[in-house]
Structure 1
Amino acid sequence: MRIWTVANQKGGVGKTTTTVSLGGLLASRGKRVLLIDTDPHASLTYYFGIDSEELEVSVFDLFTRGKTMAREEILQSLCPSGVENLDILPATMAIATLDRSLGKKSGMGLILRHALDKISDEYDVAILDCPPVLGVLMVNALAACNRVLIPVQTEFLALKGLDRMMRTMELMQSSQNKSYNFTIIPTMYDKRTKASLEAYKKLRALYGDKVWPGVVPVDTKLRDASLAMQAPHQFCPKSRGVFAYTSLLEHLEMAEND
């Protein structure tokens, strides 16, 4: 099972949209896909109309019960998305307490990886949607993945969030002796504005071929898809946003095969 983590230490850059768009496209191609919500805001969970506060089991249970949660229990905690081949491990607001309750305990950084190992034969791809805060949840999501996807809004304040994200990965590489494959994804690009053009140039100058050569444009259809609680490839298959994410997916799959 391939595991991609969508992360950035800045909110509002398109993490959840990227997670849903790529997950939906993979599912439409017959891949068995699991989306995992590790953000206390539960945006990914609510995207598909799931009221996480009414669930008996969520990602919170993985962290509080750790290795004692059996494979069948993990599978039973998953929710259907309404999209064929696409399931969700939902989040609840309770995971916001995990840093306080688990942050200082040893071995807390590999909980998600061990849980995913138990169900790895059930899915082809898992995509983890991260909170914009460095803590137990992001550390777990980074430790579990094969590739980090970093959406970056094409404006200069967002570049500061990317700088923090890169430092975080450097620290984790040192502590875990793990090298990260990562792809920077320019999002919310508006070719009419100087800010977008200059920010994109800056990204390419600083990070070179680590930046996906395409862009995800500003596209209100993506916002409309979330309002309709549908994956973008279903709601607006011919939109500019879906075209961009299709191109991104092809780029990522080529990178995985290299």
Structure 2
Amino acid sequence: MRVWAVANQKGGVGKTTTSIALAGLLADAGKRVLLVDLDPHGSMTSYFGHDPDSLEHGVFDLFQHQGEVPSGLPRQLLVKTSHERIHLLPASTVLATLERQSPGQSGLGLVVAKALAQLWQDFDHAIIDSPPLLGVLMVNALAASQHLVIPVQTEFLAVKGLERMVSTLAMINRSRRQALPYTIVPTLFDRRTQASMSTLRLLRSSYPEHLWPAYVPVDTRLRDASRAGQVPSQFDGGSRGVLAYRALLKHLLGQQAAQVA
């Protein structure tokens, strides 16, 4: 199983859309895909028709065993999605209380990695949707992943979030045996606006080694797919957004192959 985390320390940059779009394209290609929702807002969980406010079981259950994950628990927590090859570890809003509980517990940083280890043979890919703040949940996402995808909305404030994210990654890498590779993905690009154009130029000059050279454009069909609860590639496979995510997936798989080699 290959594990990707999607994270940025700013909300509204397209993390959930990116996670689901990539998962859908992988599943369309015959891959078994696991989505992990680590955001207490539960946007990914809601996307597939599950209510984070009333969910009885989910990712939160994994953190209730002093840093250990009971055998079989991750499989029991899986729920189905609108795509037959995608399963979800859902989030409930109670995840928001985890940060208050965590100071009294040790070993919580590797809970998700331990859960994925139990599902390793069941899936080809896992994609983790992270919360937009540094804490136990983001640390879990980064610790469990083999590649980090950082969506960055093409506007100035999102670049500030990227700077914080890169700083956080540098801190996390000090405790990893191998630095976590990452790809920056410009999102919500609108070539009609000066903000998008100037931000894209700034990203290209500041992060040339890590930036995906293309971008995901503003596309209302992505929002329509969310409203329908379908992965974007099944809702409208020819939309501009899906074509962009298809190109991004090809880029990420190429990087993955190079890392394995």
Bin of the TM-score, shorter chain as denominator length: over 0.9
Paired with 1:230 and 1:2, the residues of 2 have a C-alpha distance of: 23
Q: Tell me the residue number matched to 1:142.
A: 142
Q: Tell me the residue number matched to 1:62.
A: 62
Residue deviations 1:25-76 (CA, integer Å, cap 9, x gap): 10010000000000000000000111234333200001112424212x3112
Give unmatched runs, 5+ long, in structure 2.
none
Give unmatched runs, 5+ long, in structure 1.
none
Contact 1:59 1:89 in 2 (8 A): yes
Paired with 2:166 and 2:56, the residues of 1 have a C-alpha distance of: 36
Residue correspondence of structure 1 range 110-125 to structure 2 within 5 A: 110-125=110-125
Q: Which residue identity is paired with 1:217?
A: P
Residue correspondence of structure 1 range 1-258 to structure 2 within 5 A: 1-65=1-65, 66-71=67-72, 73-258=73-258
SS of aligned partner of 2:121? helix
Paired with 1:244 and 1:60, the residues of 2 have a C-alpha distance of: 33
Root-mean-square deviation (CA, aligned residues, Å) is 1.1
* Deviation, structure 1 residue 10: 0.2
SS of aligned partner of 1:54? coil
Paired with 2:228 and 2:102, the residues of 1 have a C-alpha distance of: 36
TM-score (norm 1): 0.97
SS of aligned partner of 1:190? coil
SS of aligned partner of 2:101? helix
Contact 1:45 1:91 in 2 (8 A): yes
* Deviation, structure 1 residue 175: 2.8
Paired with 2:200 and 2:239, the residues of 1 have a C-alpha distance of: 22
Q: Could you tell which deviates more after superposition, 48-57 or 143-152?
A: 48-57
Paired with 1:190 and 1:3, the residues of 2 have a C-alpha distance of: 30
% identical equivalent positions: 52
* Deviation, structure 1 residue 177: 4.0
* Deviation, structure 1 residue 88: 0.4
Contact 2:36 2:128 in 1 (8 A): yes
* Deviation, structure 1 residue 143: 0.3
Paired with 2:151 and 2:103, the residues of 1 have a C-alpha distance of: 26
SS of aligned partner of 1:140? helix
Q: Which residue identity is paired with 2:68?
A: K
SS of aligned partner of 1:98? helix
Contact 1:225 1:232 in 2 (8 A): yes
Q: Which residue identity is paired with 2:220?
A: T
* Deviation, structure 1 residue 209: 2.6
Contact 2:82 2:231 in 1 (8 A): no
Number of aligned positions between the proteins:
257
* Deviation, structure 1 residue 119: 1.1
Contact 2:3 2:125 in 1 (8 A): yes
Paired with 1:18 and 1:213, the residues of 2 have a C-alpha distance of: 16
Contact 2:69 2:115 in 1 (8 A): no
Q: Which residue identity is paired with 1:165?
A: M
Contact 1:7 1:151 in 2 (8 A): yes
Contact 2:60 2:91 in 1 (8 A): yes
Structure with the larger helix share: 1
Contact 1:10 1:158 in 2 (8 A): yes
